[in-house]
């Protein structure tokens, strides 16, 4: 039978996500919104939590319905008693299908491997879309008809021989695409006497964040303002202590979780965007980051730990692989560029971000899916 056409007539799409609909918006949310904008009926399955019944509720977006389901039976036995967990997951999949009804496509972003087997959902086609490296030994392909990953190394880890697989990089959301177009149309005019503002967007509790280096950079630049935009999701006592210490610094602004226009407004006067991570704690080992596209879209300078996918981005201040201590010198160089009013290519970076929108990615995925033999 022909594969579902993402650019054709409306489809019913069940999307499995390891992140909930509410909170920080990441790739799953953006793909769901793009699909809904095309007229598809998207059922967005939140990660399993709590004890309640399986239920459907409306979302804040037309054509997107939220599916909630309780904590998975035998979840703690996912690796120790794998066959039992897979059997329980199949039972849950059948229960979800009974409530949801027939779907045309299953789109699985679930790196937590809640559903090791796609077949009980009985979708005519399924996609496994991996944006974070999976655990070694995982049953990674899950009988998917199409496998996507954000980097060739990740695709190579998960794709069985002969199964259709492609690299599809991170995308730029419509919110940031609109911001990029606005910046290009009306570039910011910066007053020379302004303090240099250095920004970060994202979850402050993310495991790979180089918290010690961030604290050192803040302490080394008391004449700059550091603005952190994002929540603290999944904190530990250690992370809470770090956040509290950071908040106490006179040159630090904690904006918290912002979305939509409020988020973009908080970026308007930021001169430099910072991406500091510790490769030893980075699940993906520095292959790609959606955050860099967002930073490019916002204009200004970008200072980053080594990220292979954007190492050649024009004018980026990026530490070399294996040399994390270079980040301090890269930040100093970016601060000097701002103070001297040098143009390091922000327009080219914004245009690069616009060329990688989620809509453009969706069109690429539609072509890959169309080529599949279902």
**At a CB cut-off of 8 Å and minimum separation 6, what does 197 contact?**
224, 225, 226, 227, 269, 270, 271, 272
pLDDT at residue number 177: 93
- DSSP letter string, 69-123: -PPPTTGGGTTTTHHHHHHHHHHHHHHHHHHH---SEEEE--TT-S-S-SGGG--
Q: What is the pLDDT of residues 243-266, one digit of tens each?
A: 999 999 999 999 999 988 999 999
- Predicted confidence at residue 339, as pLDDT, reads 96
Tens digits of residue pLDDT in 70-88: 988 766 666 677 778 888 8
- The pLDDT, as a whole number, for residue 150 is 82
Tell me what pLDDT residue 285 has.
56
Please give the pLDDT value at position 122.
Answer: 95
Q: How confident is the model at residue 309 (pLDDT cuts 50, 70, 90)?
A: confident
| pLDDT of 308 above 90 | no
Rounded-to-integer distance, Cα 362 and Cα 342, Å = 36
Separation CA 42–CA 17 (nearest Å) = 12
Domains of the chain: 12-171+357-370 (3.40.50.2000), 174-354 (3.40.50.2000)
Instruction: Please give the pLDDT value at position 79.
Output: 66
pLDDT score at 85: 81
* CA–CA separation, 249 and 245 (whole Å): 7
Say which range, 43-57, 128-142, 173-187, has the weakest mean pLDDT: 128-142
Contact indicator for 317, 331 with CB cutoff of 8 Å: yes
At residue 60, the pLDDT reads 92
Give the chain's largest Cα–Cα span: 65
- Residue labelled with tokens 């969706």: 362
SS3 assignment, position 351: helix
Quote the tokens at residue 275.
């991406």
| Mean pLDDT across 30-55 | 93
3-state helix, strand, coil in the chain (%, to 5): 35, 15, 45
Strand order in the sheet with 41-45: 55-58, 64-68, 41-45, 12-16, 105-108, 126-130, 146-149, 165-167
* pLDDT at position 140: 54
Judging by beta carbons within 10 Å of its beta carbon (0-12, 13-18, 19+), is residue 239 exposed, middle or buried? middle
pLDDT digits (tens, 9 = 90+) for 201-217: 988 988 888 999 999 99
Report which listed range, 20-24, 166-170, 241-245, is most confident: 241-245
Kindly tell me if the per-residue pLDDT of 287 is higher than 60. no
pLDDT category of residue 268 using cuts at 50, 70 and 90 = very high
| Residue in the structure block whose two tokens are 């804040």 | 60
Mean pLDDT of the chain: 89
- β-strand 301-304 against 317-318: which pairing, if any? parallel
Alpha helices per DSSP H over the chain: 27-37, 82-100, 152-158, 174-185, 211-220, 237-247, 260-265, 290-298, 326-340, 346-354, 358-370
What confidence tens digit (pLDDT) does each residue in 97-153 have?
999 999 999 999 976 677 878 999 999 999 999 887 666 556 556 688 898 988 777
Pairing between β-strand 252-256 and β-strand 165-167 as defined by DSSP bridges: unpaired
| pLDDT score, position 143 | 82
pLDDT digits (tens, 9 = 90+) for 311-362: 889 999 999 988 989 999 999 999 999 999 999 999 999 999 999 899 999 9
Say what the pLDDT of residue 207 is. Answer: 83
Distances (CA, A) of 75 to 48, 84, 86, 113, 291: 10, 10, 10, 10, 31
What pLDDT is attached to residue 183? 95
Which pLDDT band holds residue 23 (cuts at 50, 70, 90)?
confident
Q: Given this model, what pLDDT does residue 153 score? A: 74
C-alpha to C-alpha distance for 129 and 141, rounded to whole angstroms: 10
């Amino acid at each position: 039978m022909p594969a579902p056409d993402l650019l054709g007539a409306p489809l019913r799409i069940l999307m499995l996500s390891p992140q909930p609909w509410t909170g920080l918006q990441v790739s799953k949310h953006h793909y769901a919104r793009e699909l809904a904008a095309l007229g598809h009926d998207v059922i967005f399955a939140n990660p399993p939590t709590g004890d309640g019944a399986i239920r459907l509720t409306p979302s804040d977006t037309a054509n997107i319905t939220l599916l909630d389901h309780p904590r998975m039976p035998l979840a703690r036995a996912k690796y120790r008693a794998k066959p039992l967990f897979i059997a329980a997951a199949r039972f849950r999949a059948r229960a979800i299908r009974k409530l949801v009804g027939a779907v045309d496509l299953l789109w699985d972003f679930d790196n937590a491997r809640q559903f090791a087997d796609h077949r009980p959902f009985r979708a005519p086609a399924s996609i496994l879309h991996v944006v974070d490296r999976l655990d070694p030994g995982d049953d990674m392909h899950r009988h998917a008809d199409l496998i996507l990953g954000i980097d060739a190394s990740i695709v190579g880890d998960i794709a069985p021989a002969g199964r259709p697989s492609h690299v599809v990089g991170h995308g730029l959301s419509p919110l940031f695409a609109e911001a990029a177009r606005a910046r290009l149309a009306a570039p910011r005019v910066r007053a020379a006497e302004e303090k240099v503002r250095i920004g970060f967007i994202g979850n402050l509790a993310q495991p790979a964040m180089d918290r010690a280096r961030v604290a050192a950079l803040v302490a080394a630049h008391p004449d700059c303002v550091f603005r952190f935009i994002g929540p603290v999701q999944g904190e530990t006592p250690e992370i809470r202590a770090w956040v509290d210490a950071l908040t106490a610094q006179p040159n630090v602004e904690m904006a918290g979780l912002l979305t939509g226009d409020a988020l973009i407004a908080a970026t308007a006067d930021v001169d430099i965007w910072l991406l500091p991570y510790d490769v030893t704690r980075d699940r993906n080992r520095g292959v790609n980051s959606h955050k860099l596209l967002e930073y490019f879209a916002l204009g200004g300078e970008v200072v980053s730990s080594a990220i292979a996918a954007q190492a050649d981005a024009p004018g980026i201040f990026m530490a070399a692989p294996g040399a994390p201590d270079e980040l301090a010198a890269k930040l100093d160089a970016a601060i000097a560029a701002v103070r001297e009013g040098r143009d390091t290519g922000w327009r080219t970076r914004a245009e690069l971000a616009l060329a990688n929108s989620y809509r453009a990615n969706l069109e690429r995925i539609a072509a890959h899916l169309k080529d599949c033999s279902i």
